[in-house]
Structure 1
Amino acid sequence: MSSPRIAFLASSAAPAQQALAELTARYGQWQPEQADVLCPLGGDGFMLQTLHRHGDLGLPVFGLKLGTVGFLMNQHRPEDDLCQRLAGGQPAHLHPLEMTAFTAGGEQVSERAYNDVSMLRQTRQAAHIGIDLNGQERLPELVGDGVLVASPAGSTAYNYSAHGPVLPLGSQTIALTPLAAYRPRRWRGAILKANTVVRFRVLDPVKRPVSVTADSHETRDVLQVTIVQSQRHVSLLFDPEHNLEERILNEQFLS
């Protein structure tokens, strides 16, 4: 069996650049468009950059942790045979969130998010946001710092720090989580079916402007944002002993 054609992609961090030189010398290097598998070297931030840039290629992705945070990455073990690890990798299928935003300037912006889409106040004034699900108003007015929608893979990131639920991978759910809600004070969010169409309406955009961020892509002065989970997916590969599903499960038992 021939070795896979690997496209190594590295962050600017020194350890990632050093690993890039060593790995390409050992396994060769292919452009993403000609490769069988993508191998980003870095942290979770660089993994998300890789998915945004090359996710449409439909290639499996095997990340190696050479950054600060590596929840979506595998351990970098230079002594191991990478081709054998790739052959034994277990896939985790991630369905990104598709976001469409309309701004006060008349723009329509579409972005994809593998972790979360978050609405955040732009000033010291609390945001006032209405929430509709599948075209039906569910919360007339949320007052607070904002609100987010997270995928299962992203539920352990910003969503978790905002006291949102950790969602099992493959659960066909998404998390709707308020950010420092002032009213209604006892509302802690909701777990929704993955095919739910979520719409946020900014109720006072002049006095209380709001921005939206899809992963790291920010759009300011939004009036309305619609979010739905994509039918398309990307496949991340993980070593069997430390796959993503097990990591997410472990997060639910951390104190």
Structure 2
Amino acid sequence: MIVGLVPNSHRNATRRVANEVALIMESQGLRVIRDWKEGAEVPDLLVVFGGDGTILGTARRCGHLGIPLLTINLGRVGFLAELEAHELSQYLPRIIAGDYHLEKRMMLKVTVRREGGPIFQSEALNEAAILRQGVARMIRLQILIDRKPLIRYAADGIICATPTGSTAYSLSAGGPVLMPETQLMVITPVCPFAPALKPLVMEGNHNLTIIPENEKAVLTVDGQDTVTLSPGDDVEIERSPYHISLVRLKEQSILEVLGRKLQL
């Protein structure tokens, strides 16, 4: 079995923990690729050490490879993490033995087209958000589903989230929580001018197009990849052909995780 380790490159503590885990795994006969990078040999399992940002970045880079991810929280909230750092010693024998199940999570494919041609493309595990740029006035957005006009409205922005991302930015903006195993998208307006405008949940087999009409805006994917949008750009969002497989060692529901992480 080949295991790749992905520590947060900006925190020495994650490297220290990753090195300790590597020594134990190697002593059990596993081949370990320390500080795994995309383009290296494809492992059977990736162990990600860090917070949600590290996990999201790894998921976007590796979705097309189909490598299962085991996520270890060494950040703050760690919503996406399966284990806390202090739980590693307890679960390491099961990890080495492959005694776990995989939970598939839907991803989004995000494409920006300008004058008919693509200028940006990325995958998202959490969400794609289109937001007003700086302190500019509200942006006016045209929303289409399957290329059919749905609505136009003015707002500070709009979020399109996966079930995984429904507990992140979308939740803060008033969106619902989606069960993680579903194939759904939630479209959540950010501070709309019309307060009656509410989030919309739709099946993942639909395609969403968002067009900023009056102002420059910013598209951000999982809070990390960004691109500046000009009026008239098409932002196309659809279910990705790829998914992320998360290693699960515990039997816990999303509601239990919400309650614990948010201290509800």
Residues 106 and 171 of structure 1: CA distance in aligned 2, closer, same or farther (over 3 Å): closer
1:27 aligns with 2:25: yes
Residue 214 of structure 1 is matched in structure 2 by 221
Residue 186 of structure 1 is matched in structure 2 by 196
- Counting only pairs closer than 5 Å after superposition, residues 228-243 of structure 1 correspond to structure 2 as 228-242=238-252
User: 1:146–1:180: 8 Å Cα contact kept in structure 2?
Assistant: yes
- Counting only pairs closer than 5 Å after superposition, residues 64-213 of structure 1 correspond to structure 2 as 64-73=72-81, 74-76=83-85, 77-85=87-95, 87-103=98-114, 108-123=119-134, 124-139=136-151, 141-182=152-193, 184-204=194-214, 208-213=215-220
**Given residue 23 of structure 1, which amino acid in structure 2 is its aligned partner?**
V
Residues 186 and 35 of structure 1: CA distance in aligned 2, closer, same or farther (over 3 Å): same
1:20-50: per-residue Cα shift (whole Å, max 9, x none)? 1211111132256242100011111101111
CA distance in 1 between partners of 2:243 and 2:258 (Å) = 23
CA distance in 1 between partners of 2:209 and 2:62 (Å) = 28
1:90-149: per-residue Cα shift (whole Å, max 9, x none)? 31111210011124897621111110000101142110001011121110x211101010
| TM-superposed deviation, 1:70 | 1.2
| TM-superposed deviation, 1:210 | 1.1
Could you tell me the TM-score, scaled by structure 1's length?
Answer: 0.88
CA distance in 2 between partners of 1:210 and 1:94 (Å) = 28
Runs of 4 or more above 4 Å deviation: 103-107, 252-255
1:156-189: per-residue Cα shift (whole Å, max 9, x none)? 000000010100122221100000111x320112
Residues 175 and 81 of structure 1: CA distance in aligned 2, closer, same or farther (over 3 Å): closer
Residues 34 and 170 of structure 1: CA distance in aligned 2, closer, same or farther (over 3 Å): closer
CA distance in 1 between partners of 2:174 and 2:184 (Å) = 17
- The one of 3, 6, 15 equivalent to 1:9 is 6
Count of aligned pairs between the two proteins: 244
CA distance in 1 between partners of 2:257 and 2:55 (Å) = 21
**Given residue 109 of structure 1, which amino acid in structure 2 is its aligned partner?**
F
User: 2:155–2:191: 8 Å Cα contact kept in structure 1?
Assistant: yes
Residues 132 and 249 of structure 1: CA distance in aligned 2, closer, same or farther (over 3 Å): farther
Q: Which shifted more, 88-97 or 191-200?
A: 88-97
CA distance in 2 between partners of 1:250 and 1:48 (Å) = 18
CA distance in 2 between partners of 1:249 and 1:127 (Å) = 37
Gaps of 5+ in 1: none
CA distance in 2 between partners of 1:38 and 1:113 (Å) = 18
In angstroms, what is the RMSD of aligned CA positions? 2.2
CA distance in 2 between partners of 1:26 and 1:113 (Å) = 33
User: 1:151–1:174: 8 Å Cα contact kept in structure 2?
Assistant: yes
**Given residue 6 of structure 2, which amino acid in structure 1 is its aligned partner?**
L
Residues 57 and 82 of structure 1: CA distance in aligned 2, closer, same or farther (over 3 Å): same
Q: Secondary structure at the match of 2:111?
A: strand
CA distance in 2 between partners of 1:105 and 1:138 (Å) = 21
Could you tell me the TM-score, scaled by structure 2's length?
Answer: 0.85
Identity across the alignment (%): 25
User: 2:101–2:248: 8 Å Cα contact kept in structure 1?
Assistant: yes
CA distance in 1 between partners of 2:259 and 2:187 (Å) = 17
Q: Secondary structure at the match of 1:63?
A: strand
User: 1:122–1:210: 8 Å Cα contact kept in structure 2?
Assistant: yes
User: 1:118–1:146: 8 Å Cα contact kept in structure 2?
Assistant: yes
User: 1:129–1:142: 8 Å Cα contact kept in structure 2?
Assistant: yes
Q: Secondary structure at the match of 1:47?
A: helix
**Given residue 10 of structure 1, which amino acid in structure 2 is its aligned partner?**
P
**Given residue 187 of structure 1, which amino acid in structure 2 is its aligned partner?**
L
1:53-104: per-residue Cα shift (whole Å, max 9, x none)? 2222211111111111211112222422524136232311112100111248
